[in-house]
Amino acid sequence: MPKKLNKAIALAEILVLGLVASAPLYADAVMMHFALASATPEAKATIEEFHAIQLTFTQVPKEGGRLIRLADPHGEQVELGAVHMDAEMVMSAQIEAESLDDGTYTVNWRGAGDDGHFVTGEYTFTLQAAAADR
């Protein structure tokens, strides 16, 4: 084989090995994108009572883009207190309503991470108050 071809093959092998070796670093960077890591109440959970919504993110949500909304089983907005940060990556809002009907509630949220792009999401949970509490 000519020397130039051998050098070209060797260079191609080095490039491929470099790309393969850096793939885990790229995957970590993609995984660090702003996203919802956990929520209380949890998605699709059935709960007996709740007083606040807590959302934990993979990055600290930037100010100005933080939003939590709660819709009741009829699609009406439930009054929430101000959205604030409880801990480094936990955004929460207290429920201001005196009482809540049983049924499926929808949480809508919005936040922006380090890259400044807004990310939105929603999930549902079911409130089924214990019969003894009525």
Whole-prediction pTM: 0.72
More confident site: 82 or 131: 82
Question: For the residues 87-113, what does the mean pLDDT come to?
Answer: 90
pLDDT at 113: 87
Confidence of residue 14 (pLDDT cuts 50, 70, 90): low
Q: What percent of the chain has pLDDT over 70?
A: 72
pLDDT at 132: 42
Residue 31 to residue 48: CA distance in whole angstroms: 34
pLDDT at 65: 81
- pLDDT tens, position by position, 25-79: 444 444 468 899 999 999 999 999 989 999 999 998 888 888 999 999 999 999 9
pLDDT at 62: 86
Confidence of residue 80 (pLDDT cuts 50, 70, 90): very high
pLDDT at 6: 61
Question: For the residues 93-113, what does the mean pLDDT come to?
Answer: 92
| Closest to 111 in 3D by CA, of 63, 74, 76 | 63
